[in-house]
């Protein structure tokens, strides 16, 4: 699908509810785009606001504290640079300014720093559960067919892309299906008592409130990195259970419906690129395209323009689980 640029009507941030631009400071476009997604994740904002931070109130290098302050400051139209302290905090934690970052790697690094630096371990665990996808990896020895199951989890679902056209649902089904591991990734087989070629398949155990999906557009071929500009179509809403073809008795998998609320977009190449974001405002029921300090009202058709093709391509997708299902789980 070809590129579709957002409409050129620049909106005054004072007229919007919860959507505002952020100045680019030292190649901060990746962090800016992530902050827009964090701000739109009201579940995360609520958990951070519940955190009593008396002991950390003056710590300029505490990541969850500075994230909390940045997200609060983004709601204040009078704050000229609500994210500068957060940028300095990340720099002190070895996420350097004036450097290009990968959005998915940065997303996972920030979540890990929250776990390490948040004084309230219970709230830190709740934040992790927002994104945690519990899975079971089934490892099958290709020599003797012996199977073993290993529990694992993901905070973002890494989806391999094929050349040509892809559909999100097909990419998820492929991720869950059995795949033969490459040479050098052999597993130890207890029956054979040695490492053997193996195949691996994933089974979903539990799904999170926020489903973060990473479209793996960067690939290394013979020591060279390249970006896959192939098309990946994704829906506004979908049921995750329909993509897991294996028998799964878990009740929550029967109606695991999700709705898209944020898209992180990458333009450029592996060597030099730029990140922007599409955010769906719950208050207004509208999409906005945010390119650092510029904010434009957008349409779903424009979001679909990031499916693929040379230019702006979707790199990370954030889906929110149907609220009625989340309430039902919590009360259960």
What own/partner pairs with CB < 8 Å and gap ≥ 24 does 119-128 have?
119/51, 119/53, 119/55, 119/56, 120/51, 120/52, 123/47, 123/50, 123/51, 124/64, 126/47, 127/44, 127/47, 127/48, 128/155
Asked whether the beta carbons of 298 and 288 are under 8 A apart, the reply is yes
More confident residue, 78 or 101: 101
Average pLDDT over the chain reads 87
For position 331, what pLDDT does the model report? 36
Q: Where are the chain's structural domains?
A: 20-131
CA distance 319 to 43: 12
Q: What is the pLDDT of residues 162-195, one digit of tens each?
A: 988 999 999 999 999 999 887 777 888 889 999 9
Average the pLDDT over each of 7-11, 57-61, 161-165 and give the range with the smallest value.
7-11
Max Cα-Cα span within the chain: 67
Q: What is the pLDDT of residues 82-100, one digit of tens each?
A: 999 999 999 999 999 889 9
Per-residue pLDDT at 22 exceeds 80: yes
Per-residue pLDDT at 28 exceeds 70: yes
Percentage of residues in the chain having pLDDT higher than 90: 68
CATH (residue range 20-131) = 3.90.70.10
Query: Token digits for 89?
Result: 């905090």
CA distance 175 to 131: 18
Q: What is the pLDDT of residues 151-164, one digit of tens each?
A: 999 999 999 999 88
Asked whether the beta carbons of 322 and 276 are under 8 A apart, the reply is no
For position 269, what pLDDT does the model report? 84
């Amino acid at each position: 699908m070809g590129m579709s640029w957002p409409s050129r009507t620049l909106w005054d941030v004072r007229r919007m509810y919860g959507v505002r631009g952020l100045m680019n400071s030292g190649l901060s476009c990746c962090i800016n785009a992530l902050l827009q997604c964090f701000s739109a994740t009201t579940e995360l904002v609520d958990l951070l606001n519940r955190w009593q931070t008396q002991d950390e109130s003056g710590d300029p290098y505490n990541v969850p504290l500075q994230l909390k302050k940045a997200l609060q400051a983004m709601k204040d139209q009078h704050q000229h640079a609500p994210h500068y302290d957060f940028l300095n905090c990340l720099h002190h934690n070895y996420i350097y300014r004036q450097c290009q970052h990968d959005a998915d790697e940065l997303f996972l690094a920030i979540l890990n720093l929250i776990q390490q630096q948040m004084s309230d371990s219970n709230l830190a665990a709740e934040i992790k559960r927002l994104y945690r996808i519990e899975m079971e990896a089934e490892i099958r020895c290709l020599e003797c067919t012996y199977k073993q199951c290993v529990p694992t989890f993901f905070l973002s679902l890494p989806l391999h892309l094929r050349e040509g056209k892809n559909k999100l649902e097909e990419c998820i089904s492929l991720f869950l299906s059995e795949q033969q591991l490459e040479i050098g990734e052999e597993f130890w087989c207890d029956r054979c008592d040695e490492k053997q070629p193996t195949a691996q398949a994933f089974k979903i155990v539990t799904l999170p409130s926020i489903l973060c999906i990473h479209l793996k557009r960067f690939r290394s071929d013979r020591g060279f990195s390249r970006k896959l500009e192939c098309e990946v179509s994704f829906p506004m809403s979908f049921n995750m259970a329909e993509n897991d073809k294996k028998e799964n008795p878990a009740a929550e998998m029967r109606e695991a419906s999700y709705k898209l609320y944020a898209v992180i977009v990458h333009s450029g190449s592996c060597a030099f690129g730029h990140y922007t974001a599409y955010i769906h405002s719950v208050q207004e029921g509208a999409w906005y395209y945010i390119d650092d300090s510029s904010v434009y009202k957008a349409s779903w058709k424009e979001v679909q323009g990031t499916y693929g093709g040379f230019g702006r391509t979707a790199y990370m997708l954030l889906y929110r689980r149907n609220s009625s299902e989340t309430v039902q789980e919590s009360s259960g």
